[in-house]
DNA sequence: CTGAAAGCGCTAACAA
DNA sequence: TTGTTAGCGCTTTCAG
């Protein structure tokens, strides 16, 4: 760690001025290819690395993106979101500064303040499951993209999963296998996913000429234990459904357990499909669970790329791209939990 | 976002010099309580917030800690580690800059380089499961703490779970319930956890006067499907064990499935305990799985606090604290998978 | 095409 | 106890 080499060392070694070095390295200015190359190779030889604090201070671009999320800690999806965001960020030579607010508004406020003090170039305001949110006061004027969250107004870009589409994909998977009596294990929280998936379920049945039997719809909270009980209600009926669509994988696990307790084999006696594709669960279940994947990685990636776009046009007020609200496609991942209905 | 207020605005408004403001806010220097208070209240009124790029550039302290990890994305534990680290960091007025290297050395090198360019004050070099690592060349001279990782030399602080202790806790839990024939479903990877837990298993049996029956030990990779087969080997014996200790929760899930296939009830016919306490799984399994928790949150917290300690004494070469290598205790979380052996 | 000079907003010597 | 003065290492006008 002998004294870090600075731009002036490079200038001295290359026999040019500070300006020339700066231009050569950043690509700005009009330099002859010869000098540019020479400066670059000298810099590389000296193992020069810029001090981002200094360049950020001067240029007003820190190359840092703030990532504000509610509960990175308690959800297993966070990793994929983060990875997507981070890999996209690296392509832009950005680095992520991440804060977990634990859904505590006070802590959220302080966290955003901290990010702003570090002069982040923009912020990804993320939720770990699809929610409608109010963007915090502190973020007005800061380039922001919402991830797995949306808000009433359309002044801000956002990306969420296409909940209705996900439900449609799942239900059509069952219909394609020949099922007509399809139960739905919904959840009870008043969130976009609940409404979207339920709407998608109903709409898809109707679109295929299947009448919606409201008694085939139950709801529980998203724990396996509660889902077990909800599934039992449907499976104990004499006219039980031949297939179950589950709000998410944890609920599907409850359905598996209820089926097992009753001696029903999956998929021979009962087909099951759900949404999440939470691999640790879906792969581990016996048989493997067919599940529609939520595009966590892709949402993370999209959010950063969108922010890049909006940041690029920053300053030029005119050609600033209009904010975009995206509902992202959710692909089906098949394993072994769906088969034809028993005759 | 009217032009951000700077330290000079505060100085002007308070009728003092820049220095005085700086001192008042940072707590340095010798100011009368009166001026200090006045400056602070003026700063608060103006909504002043320091520019960390500027202060970092000058003071050589960015207040950023780099967090380098192998696979945040693919492990569900990452969240807890991150949360522990982050909450501890916030207490020190630090913020975390996180990079996921996907275990790719090239990408790791570039990521560390990026962190260093941003002049992070220190680095947490983390793994998502206990590993022995070689600390990258680029980190020599940078204050670093290893998290869930250890290295040969003792010049660097590190924290890992006490693998042997965790196994002891698990096995003693079974012994306390009355079991003497206890099988072990190990895993096949050559990692510290594999060796530590196996050693702990053997040592604990011996300590309780139980002879180790090597035929009661099997190994599989850490997927539920493989574990199913490994468990079958033990459960199909006429003298099958009355209890199974499993390397981790996913393997335990395989054991559950093997038991279920054979009509063995848990815990009546077979008791099961494992290590991980991966809640989404352990809570969802039927019955709930007794599992020894890995102290993810606590390791994250410890790593940051340790770094704080070492950073504080930085510069003063003499009173620099000696590096510390910690093996952290792993507490048992009981649910319903352990009972007395069948008679 | 290249260089000199002026700061970005703050902190740390040093004076007063 | 407070103020003055130099920079931290870089980018960016603006001249040559």
Task: Write out which nucleotides of chain C lie closer than 7 A to a protein Cβ.
Answer: 1-13
B288 by DSSP, 3-state: which? coil
Q: Report the candidate in A171, A247, A183, A177 with the shortest Cα–Cα distance to residue A217.
A: A183
Instruction: Find out if CATH 3.30.1330.20 is the number for domain B58-161+296-328.
Output: no
Measured from the CB, is A55 under 7 Å from any atom of strand D? yes
pLDDT at A153: 84
Identify whether the C-beta of residue A246 lies closer than 8 Å to the C-beta of residue A274. yes
Least confident of B7-21, B47-61, B156-170, B284-298: B7-21
pLDDT band at A73 (very low <50, low <70, confident <90, very high): low
Mean pLDDT of B106-122: 95
The total number of residues shown for chain A amounts to 343
Measured from the CB, is B32 under 7 Å from any atom of strand D? yes
To test the contact with chain B by mutation, choose from A25, A284, A297 the residue with the greatest count of B C-beta atoms within 10 A, namely: A284
pLDDT at B180 over 70: yes
Measured from the CB, is A57 under 7 Å from any atom of strand C? yes
Separation CA B49–CA A120 (nearest Å): 14
Q: CB–CB of B98 and A110 under 8 A?
A: no
pLDDT band at B58 (very low <50, low <70, confident <90, very high): very high
A132 by DSSP, 3-state: which? strand
A285 by DSSP, 3-state: which? coil
Q: In what order do the strands lie in the sheet with B182-187?
A: B217-220, B182-187, B243-246, B271-276, B290-293, B332-333
Separation CA A115–CA A101 (nearest Å): 12
Q: CB–CB of B223 and A283 under 8 A?
A: yes
Secondary structure letter of residue A60 according to DSSP = S
Tell me the β-bridge partners of A99: A68
A221-257, pLDDT tens digit by residue?
Answer: 988 999 999 999 999 999 999 999 999 999 999 999 9
Q: Which nt is closest to the CA of B58, judged by C1'?
A: D8
| Cβ-Cβ contacts under 8 Å, B118 against chain A | 52-53, 63-64, 95
CATH for A163-294 is 3.40.50.2300
The radius of gyration of chain B from alpha carbons, rounded to an integer in Å, stands at 26
Nearest-CA distance A2 → chain B (Å): 10
Tell me the β-bridge partners of A245: A184, A273
Percent share of chain A, pLDDT over 90: 74
- Rounded distance in angstroms from the CA atom of residue B312 to the C1' atom of nucleotide D2: 28
Q: Report the candidate in B143, B112, B115, B148 with the shortest Cα–Cα distance to residue B130.
A: B148
- Rounded distance in angstroms from the CA atom of residue A315 to the C1' atom of nucleotide C2: 28
* Fold match between domain A58-161+296-328 and domain A163-294: yes
Identify whether the C-beta of residue B84 lies closer than 8 Å to the C-beta of residue B301. yes
Q: Which nt is closest to the CA of A18, judged by C1'?
A: C3
Least confident of A89-93, A159-163, B11-15, B231-235: B11-15
pLDDT band at A55 (very low <50, low <70, confident <90, very high): very high
Q: CB–CB of A280 and B284 under 8 A?
A: no
A-chain residue closest to B60, CA distance? A53
A92 — phi, psi (to 5°)?
Answer: -95, 10
pLDDT at A3 over 80: no
B208-263, pLDDT tens digit by residue?
Answer: 999 999 999 999 998 899 999 999 999 999 999 999 999 999 999 999 999 999 99
Mean pLDDT of A195-199: 97
pLDDT at B206 over 80: yes
A120 — phi, psi (to 5°)?
Answer: -55, 145
SS (H, E, C) B30-64: CCCHHHHHHHHHHHHHHCCCCCHHHHHHHHCCCCE
pLDDT at B320 over 80: no
pLDDT at B2: 40
Q: CB–CB of A83 and B72 under 8 A?
A: yes
Q: CB–CB of A75 and B79 under 8 A?
A: yes
Give the tokens for residue B283.
């809570």
Per mean pLDDT, which of A94-108, B17-31, B284-298, B316-330 is the most reliable?
B284-298
| Cβ-Cβ contacts under 8 Å, B102 against chain A | 83
Kindly provide the b/e burial profile for residues B46-56, where b requires at least 16 CB atoms within 10 angstroms of the residue's own CB. eebebbbbbbb
pLDDT at A29: 65
pLDDT at A54 over 50: yes
Separation CA B14–CA B98 (nearest Å): 39
A47 φ/ψ sector (left φ>0, alpha ψ -120 to 50, else beta):
left
Mean pLDDT of A80-102: 93
pLDDT at B283 over 70: yes
pLDDT band at B162 (very low <50, low <70, confident <90, very high): very high
Mean pLDDT of B5-20: 84
The total number of residues shown for chain B amounts to 343
Mean pLDDT of A103-123: 94
- Rounded distance in angstroms from the CA atom of residue A11 to the C1' atom of nucleotide D10: 13
pLDDT at A1 over 50: no
Q: Between these two residues, A74 and A293, which has the higher pLDDT value?
A: A293
Domain boundaries in chain A?
7-49, 58-161+296-328, 163-294
Place of tokens 């759900």: A274
Separation CA B61–CA B58 (nearest Å): 8
Strands (E) across chain A are located at 64-69, 95-100, 122-132, 144-150, 157-161, 182-187, 217-220, 243-246, 271-276, 290-293, 325-328, 332-333
Q: Report the candidate in A260, A206, A82, A95 with the shortest Cα–Cα distance to residue B128.
A: A82
Secondary structure letter of residue B273 according to DSSP = E
pLDDT at A71: 79
pLDDT at B88: 96
Measured from the CB, is B62 under 7 Å from any atom of strand D? no
Separation CA B341–CA B176 (nearest Å): 11
- Rounded distance in angstroms from the CA atom of residue A325 to the C1' atom of nucleotide D12: 37
CA B339 from centroid of its chain's CA atoms: 30
Measured from the CB, is A106 under 7 Å from any atom of strand C? no
Separation CA A171–CA B92 (nearest Å): 50
pLDDT at A316: 52
Identify whether the C-beta of residue A148 lies closer than 8 Å to the C-beta of residue A161. yes
Cβ atoms within 10 A of the Cβ of B302, count? 22
Burial degree of B264 (CB within 10 A; 0-12, 13-18, 19+): middle
Q: Report the candidate in B97, B144, B91 with the shortest Cα–Cα distance to residue B117.
A: B97
Give the tokens for residue A18.
């500070």
Q: Which residue is nearest to nucleotide D3 (CA to C1')?
A: B17
pTM: 0.93
Q: Give the DSSP H or E segment for B158.
A: strand B157-161
Mean pLDDT of B257-284: 95
Identify whether the C-beta of residue A99 lies closer than 8 Å to the C-beta of residue A67. yes
pLDDT at B36 over 90: no
| Cβ-Cβ contacts under 8 Å, B50 against chain A | 117
Identify whether the C-beta of residue A177 lies closer than 8 Å to the C-beta of residue A341. yes
Identify whether the C-beta of residue A127 lies closer than 8 Å to the C-beta of residue A307. no
Mean pLDDT of A179-194: 96
Place of tokens 């760690």: A1
CA B67 from centroid of its chain's CA atoms: 12
Residues 17-76 of B with CB under 7 A from strand C: 18-19, 22, 25-26, 28, 50-51, 54-55, 57-59
Q: CB–CB of A113 and B71 under 8 A?
A: no
- Rounded distance in angstroms from the CA atom of residue A251 to the C1' atom of nucleotide C10: 54
Mean pLDDT of B98-126: 94
pLDDT at B123 over 50: yes
Q: Report the candidate in A258, A167, A166 with the shortest Cα–Cα distance to residue A212.
A: A167
Residues 63-92 of B with CB under 7 A from strand D: none
Task: Write out which nucleotides of chain D lie closer than 7 A to a protein Cβ.
Answer: 1-13
To test the contact with chain A by mutation, choose from B25, B51, B60, B79 the residue with the greatest count of A C-beta atoms within 10 A, namely: B79
Q: Report the candidate in B147, B130, B142, B135 with the shortest Cα–Cα distance to residue B108.
A: B135
CA A210 from centroid of its chain's CA atoms: 33
To test the contact with chain A by mutation, choose from B101, B280, B298 the residue with the greatest count of A C-beta atoms within 10 A, namely: B280
Cβ atoms within 10 A of the Cβ of A227, count? 29
pLDDT band at B13 (very low <50, low <70, confident <90, very high): confident
Place of tokens 């923009």: A122
Give the tokens for residue A254.
């409850």
pLDDT at A197: 98
pLDDT band at A342 (very low <50, low <70, confident <90, very high): very high
Separation CA B303–CA B122 (nearest Å): 11
pLDDT at A257: 97
Identify whether the C-beta of residue A243 lies closer than 8 Å to the C-beta of residue A183. yes
pLDDT at A332: 98
pLDDT at B267 over 90: yes
B-chain residue closest to A71, CA distance? B79
Separation CA A124–CA A10 (nearest Å): 36
Residue A87: cis peptide before it, omega within 30 degrees of 0: no
pLDDT band at B315 (very low <50, low <70, confident <90, very high): low
pLDDT at A2 over 50: no
Residues 123-182 of B with CB under 7 A from strand D: none
pLDDT at A315 over 60: no
Nearest-CA distance A56 → chain B (Å): 7
Nearest-CA distance A304 → chain B (Å): 15
Tell me the β-bridge partners of B246: B185, B274
Q: Tally C-beta pairs within 8 A across A and B.
A: 155
Measured from the CB, is A336 under 7 Å from any atom of strand D? no
Measured from the CB, is B324 under 7 Å from any atom of strand C? no
Q: How many CA atoms lie within 13 A of A121 on its CB side?
A: 26
Q: Which residue is nearest to nucleotide D1 (CA to C1')?
A: B31
Mean pLDDT of B33-57: 88
Mean pLDDT of A132-152: 92
- Rounded distance in angstroms from the CA atom of residue B262 to the C1' atom of nucleotide C11: 72
Mean pLDDT of A188-199: 96
pLDDT at B102: 85
């Amino acid at each position: 760690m002998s004294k870090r080499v600075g731009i002036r060392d490079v200038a001295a070694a290359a026999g040019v001025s500070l300006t020339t070095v700066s231009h050569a390295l950043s690509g700005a200015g009009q330099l002859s290819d010869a000098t540019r190359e020479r400066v670059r190779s000298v810099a590389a030889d000296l193992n020069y690395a810029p001090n981002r604090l200094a360049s950020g201070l001067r240029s007003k671009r820190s190359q840092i993106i703030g990532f504000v999320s509610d509960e990175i800690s308690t959800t297993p999806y966070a990793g994929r979101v983060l990875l997507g965001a981070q890999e996209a960020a690296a392509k832009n030579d950005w680095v992520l500064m991440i804060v977990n607010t634990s859904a505590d508004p006070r802590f959220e406020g302080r966290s955003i303040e901290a990010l702003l003090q570090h002069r982040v170039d923009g912020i990804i305001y993320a939720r770990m499951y699809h929610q409608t949110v109010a963007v915090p006061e502190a973020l007005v004027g800061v380039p922001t993209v919402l991830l797995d969250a949306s808000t009433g107004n359309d002044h801000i870009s956002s990306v969420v999963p296409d909940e209705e589409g996900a439900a449609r994909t799942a239900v059509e998977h069952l219909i394609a296998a020949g099922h007509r009596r399809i139960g739905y294990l919904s959840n009870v929280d008043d969130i976009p996913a609940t409404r979207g998936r339920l709407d998608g379920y109903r709409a898809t049945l109707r679109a295929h000429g299947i009448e919606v039997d409201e008694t085939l719809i139950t709801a529980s909270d998203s724990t396996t234990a509660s889902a077990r009980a909800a599934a039992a209600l449907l499976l104990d009926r004499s006219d039980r459904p031949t297939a179950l669509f589950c709000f998410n994988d944890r609920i599907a696990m409850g359905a598996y357990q209820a089926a097992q307790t009753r001696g029903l084999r999956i998929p021979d006696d009962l087909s099951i499909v759900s949404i999440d594709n939470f691999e640790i669960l879906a792969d581990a279940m016996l048989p493997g669970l067919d599940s529609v994947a939520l595009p966590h990685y892709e949402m993370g990636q999209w959010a950063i790329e969108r922010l890049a776009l909006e940041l690029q046009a920053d300053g030029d007020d005119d050609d600033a791209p209009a904010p975009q609200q995206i509902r992202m496609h959710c692909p089906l991942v098949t394993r072994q939990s769906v088969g034809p209905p028993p005759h």
